[in-house]
Amino acid sequence: MALLSILGFFVLYLPLQHFLGYTYTFLLISATLFTITGLVASNLPKRTKEALPCGSIRKLWKNPSLIFVPVAFLVLVEELLLNSTYASLGLALALLALIFLPLSGVFLGRGDVRTQRFLEVSGLVFANRVVLSSFPISLLGSPSLLPAIYTLVVIACILYVAYRKIDLNYMRLAKGGTPILTQVLAGLLAGYILGFIEYFVLRPTSTVTMSFIQTLIYIVVVMMVFVGITEEFLFRGLLQRCLEDMLPPWQAISIASLFFALMHLGWLNPVEIVFAYAAGTIFGLMLYKTRSLIAPVIAHGFGNIILNTIVLLF
């Protein structure tokens, strides 16, 4: 499904780039086409009988996957606004989504815990955008910004887990059924490869203001502890797991990866969105196969470390 989505997107993307050139309009159309392609590819094969949801969703939607369509486009619109001249509208929409989605779960779930949990977790996806608005502009370039944002996001996730009394094993916060050494090595290998690929996708430039050693320590701590753990806890441990309760595993992985990819619109690079989708699919497969967050957290964090170390060195 990941390959189908990516290939379908590039069939549309390449002629579009030729006619429009690299503009914000091009980004907007590309991101919309990517979202549509991802949603369509995620719903092509027939669902298994075991994955059919309970009666309340069937009565509401007939096709339960329709509930993910408006949420996906809500993420898309919020990210497009946030990364445009209408950033304040994007932040306002993120705040509304953070409040409205969990509340809508009470009415749309109609007693279905799975639907309600999906909408609640979808609201949490917007948390890192909302907490960003609380920081003054003077701190946006500060090294302390990322740790502060991700600390607030992970606190929000922990409070939600505690409030809902979600079992840690449910979120795969366990050693899983695969040897830990195998998970660690798989995570390091995947992260190493993904980090190199992402460097050539983004070609970022260094803005280092600290010494080499200080910067290297900062990269390792922030990318592994804050970014890797927080994003995997949210997108795989919470979002993908609640989707797995409603859909077959391949659909759950695909939709969670789609949401993860759209949150990378800030790079203003359509290829990065596709790369993040592919990376999210790999992380999701790791979670599903190992029944643990160990491998995806290491792969995610180490991939970011590799990317930023290359930028630092070259």
d(CA 68, CA 134): 29
Q: How sure is the predictor about 58, in pLDDT bands with cuts at 50, 70 and 90?
A: very low
Please provide the average confidence, as pLDDT, over all residues in the chain.
87
Whether the Cβ atoms of residue 293 and residue 239 lie closer than 8 Å to each other:
no
Helical H segments across 110-228, by residue range: 113-125, 127-132, 145-164, 180-202, 212-220
- Residue with the two structure tokens 């989707």: 243
Q: What is the pLDDT of residues 93-152, one digit of tens each?
A: 999 999 999 988 877 766 678 888 999 999 999 988 888 766 665 555 677 888 888 999
Distance CA 171, CA 143 (A): 30
Which residues, in sequence order, are CB contacts of 232 under 8 Å at separation 6+?
283, 287, 293, 296, 297, 300
Distance of alpha carbon 256 from alpha carbon 281, whole angstroms: 8
Tally helices (H) and strands (E) across the chain.
15, 0
Q: What would the pLDDT profile of 1-34 be if each residue is shown by its tens digit?
A: 788 788 888 888 888 777 777 788 888 988 999 9
Across 44-61, average pLDDT? 46
Distance, CA of 24 to CA of 58 (rounded, Å): 39
Q: What is the pTM of this model?
A: 0.90
Q: How far is CA 97 from CA 116, 120, 122, 263, in A?
A: 14, 10, 8, 14
Q: How far is CA 229 from CA 221, 226, 234, 236, in A?
A: 11, 6, 9, 10
Residues sharing a CB contact under 8 Å with residue 155, sequence separation 6 or more, in sequence order: none
Please determine, for residue 64, whether its predicted confidence score (pLDDT) is greater than 70: no
- CA 247, CA 57: separation in Å to the nearest integer? 12
Cα–Cα distance for residue pair 222/147, rounded to 1 Å: 6
Considering only 45-54, 76-85, 179-188, which range has the smallest mean pLDDT? 45-54
Q: Give residue 295's pLDDT band: very low, low, confident or very high (50, 70, 90).
A: very high
Going by C-alpha positions, the residue among 61, 160, 168 that lies closest to residue 109 is 61
Non-local (6+) Cβ contacts of 196 within 8 A are 306, 307, 310
Q: Is the pLDDT of residue 65 over 70?
A: no
For residue 121, what are the CA distances in angstroms to 117, 139, 161, 164, 256? Answer: 6, 28, 10, 11, 11
Nearest CA-CA partner of 16 in 188, 270, 197:
270
Residue 305: CA count within 13 A, CB half-sphere = 24
Phi, psi of 196 (to 5 degrees): -65, -45
Cα 277 to Cα 58, 92, 173, 195, 231: the distances in Å are 29, 26, 23, 14, 14
Q: Which residue has the higher pLDDT, 234 or 60?
A: 234
- Going by C-alpha positions, the residue among 75, 161, 84, 80 that lies closest to residue 117 is 161
Q: DSSP assignment, residue 238?
A: I
